[in-house]
Structure 1
Amino acid sequence: MGSRYGTIIMGPAGAGKTTFASSLISHLRASKRSCYYINLDPAASDFVYEPDLDIKDLITLEDVMEELHLGPNGGLIYCFEFLLDNLDFLTDPLENVTEEYLIIIDMPGQIELYTHVPIVPNLVRALTKGSLNISMCAAYLLESTFIVDRAKFFSGTLSAMSAMLMMELPHVNILSKMDLVKGQIGRKELKRYVDPDVSLLQDGHGRDSGLVYEYKDGLDNGEPTNAKNIMTGDSFAKLNRAVGQLIDDFSLVSFLKLDVQDEDSVGAILSYIDDAIQYHEAQEPKEPNDDLGDGDDG
């Protein structure tokens, strides 16, 4: 059997990963393409489309937290460690998935799973190597409303870059929920976020930019007495600019715009994913339908 093809959908909580997965499935079905939907969020409950494979049939976050007295983050790490120890739960069904399918893997929103610890990168290596040989693209979603707060946006961009370096996969970064910022930002300004412009961190030194740390006297900030001198507005702005320069030096992160209510927007994202995994290049050319000429010979 030839290569299989898939995308793993990642991003922080609330970025719209499951909504994007559902929109992707709808678009694929409308285009007469097959897909195989995998839910790897052990806490997810509501789906537009029932997953073909659901991690909750193996382990649930609720059971782990109750039985092992773990918090949500520790419980999620345990769930994925358990999955790696029982990898045949995932790999055996995928052996029967052919190259005509797009495998869609919906991930939980705790980004430390793929930016801080090697659990998910190890899982990805197991899927992309060996007999499965899945050609996979990572789709990292960042909510478009982050652009309202520049420091928050660049923090999210840094997380996206961290995931790119950890996962070692072809990567598509996506600004989701574009409908929420429609009419709030001009096209020219938006381009500075789509291709992150470090000079955004130098524009606007006002309090509303999110780039100025304000230390207030008389408040217990939990900091030593010299914190006021260390975390002045200028020092905090320099820290943000250093983060921005790091992103600029790597030159890895740019974003695609996604509005799941717009069929063309979903289709455009899918075309980028297809290009990244070289899906169309491996498809066999289809023979013309011989039945089309029936009835014309009389």
Structure 2
Amino acid sequence: MPFGQVVIGPPGSGKTTYCRAMQQFMQATGRKVAIVNLDPANDMLPYEAAVDIADLVCLEEVMSELKLGPNGGLLYCMDYLAKNLDWLHEKLAPLEKEDYFFLFDFPGQVELFAGPGGGSVRAVLDELTGSRHHYRLVAVQLVDAHLCTDPSKYISALLLSLNTMLNLELPHINVLSKMDLVQQYGKLDFNLDFYTQVQDLGFLVHAMGGKPFSQKFRKLSQGLCEVVEEYGLVSFMPLTVQDKNSMRQLMVATDKANGYCFATLRGHTPYPPEMLYGSAGAAMSDRDIWLGMQEKYVDGEVVEASGLPPGVSEPAAPLPTPLLAAAAGRAGRKTLPYVVEGLAEEVESDDGCG
């Protein structure tokens, strides 16, 4: 029974960097991890993809031959994938037999998940979770934490998260990514737990201030906040990929959501108890998580202002993945390695992860 994460989120939210960092983190705990790149526009991969949609369809050729723009080309590519699921099955089958954990790196276009164009993505996920594969998946939706500095943008992120949760119908975890960079975009109006717990959103409408645009749409914003609160589904986990504790807490949450920590290996051999306890046991409380993030990244010192997250270097040698070496030989594809410095060493010496 394969397990995995469906990594989604708007463009620029850090999906690909997250996949690489989570792969490193899980590998350091002894887990075999395969990344499946299903984003045809992602041609500068910071990881070695075990399966790459570029082997099936080329976005540039689609745009050229069909005279489509980037978004139209992506929609066509995902439709093409949905009509060629046997190809995906053939690529995944050998990895399934080796008990790999899967990270599915999806495109970031909103219309693929929250609009009428999302039928192809839903077809792919239905295939994976259906009787043919029996995947146990959890959707991990990344939202850039800097949106919290603007009430209007934060409300938009809430609506997108809610819409995606309802459309995908998977176990779902929303993540505020790049917490280490949030200070660069301005001061938060509230403590971090206000944005992670998504409660009492009326205060958010009040914080929008007296700007003419905000005043004009104040009633609309209030109504949208009420919709989010009435559903009561949306909450966030804060994340910075080079923070070991942050990565651990998210891994624990995803392992619980997709059932990985309660499962058995192929052949019905139970996981070692220490692995089970590491994933399902007592973890830091939500309050501990956001307090730590608040102190370190919101109230603490100013973080580095760079194009890459602090602690991420370029170039660097990627971690060895010998069982995935065959996937690295794609002609004409560039692989740009990003490595979270020291993360693997820290995790490897820590006994708490499963």
- Normalization by structure 2: what TM-score? 0.71
TM superposition shift of 1:8? 0.6
TM superposition shift of 1:156? 1.1
- Distance of aligned partners of 1:255 and 1:52 in 2 relative to their CA distance in 1, 3 Å threshold: same
- Distance of aligned partners of 1:286 and 1:40 in 2 relative to their CA distance in 1, 3 Å threshold: closer
1:111 aligns with 2:96: no
Conserved 8 A contact 2:263-2:270: no
Instruction: Output the amino acid matched with 1:25.
Output: Q
- Point out 4+ residue stretches in structure 1 off by more than 4 angstroms: 182-188
Task: Give distance in 2, aligned partners of 1:249 and 1:286.
Answer: 39
Conserved 8 A contact 2:51-2:92: no
**What corresponds to 1:136 in structure 2?**
137
Give the 5 Å matches for 1:5-154.
Answer: 5-96=3-94, 97-98=96-97, 100-116=99-115, 117=117, 118-154=119-155
Count of aligned pairs: 264
TM superposition shift of 1:32? 1.1
- Distance of aligned partners of 1:101 and 1:200 in 2 relative to their CA distance in 1, 3 Å threshold: farther
Structure 2 stretches lacking a partner, 5+ long: 274-354
Structure 1 stretches lacking a partner, 5+ long: 215-232, 289-298
**What corresponds to 1:177 in structure 2?**
178
Pick which of 85-94 and 162-171 moved more. Answer: 85-94
3-state DSSP of counterpart to 2:44: coil
1:276 aligns with 2:257: yes
3-state DSSP of counterpart to 1:181: helix
- Normalization by structure 1: what TM-score? 0.83
Identical-pair percentage = 36
Task: Give distance in 2, aligned partners of 1:113 and 1:12.
Answer: 10
Task: Give distance in 2, aligned partners of 1:23 and 1:40.
Answer: 18
Give the 5 Å matches for 1:254-269.
Answer: 254-269=235-250
Instruction: Output the amino acid matched with 1:142.
Output: V
Conserved 8 A contact 1:94-1:132: no
TM superposition shift of 1:100? 3.4
Task: Give distance in 2, aligned partners of 1:163 and 1:287.
Answer: 35
Conserved 8 A contact 1:42-1:55: yes
3-state DSSP of counterpart to 2:16: helix
Instruction: Output the amino acid matched with 1:174.
Output: V
TM superposition shift of 1:178? 0.2
- Distance of aligned partners of 1:207 and 1:102 in 2 relative to their CA distance in 1, 3 Å threshold: farther
TM superposition shift of 1:98? 3.7
Conserved 8 A contact 2:141-2:161: yes
Instruction: Output the amino acid matched with 2:198.
Output: P
- Distance of aligned partners of 1:76 and 1:156 in 2 relative to their CA distance in 1, 3 Å threshold: same
TM superposition shift of 1:47? 1.9
Task: Give distance in 1, aligned partners of 2:188 and 2:62.
Answer: 46
3-state DSSP of counterpart to 2:154: helix
**What corresponds to 1:225 in structure 2?**
none
**What corresponds to 1:200 in structure 2?**
203
Task: Give distance in 1, aligned partners of 2:130 and 2:167.
Answer: 16
TM superposition shift of 1:206? 2.4
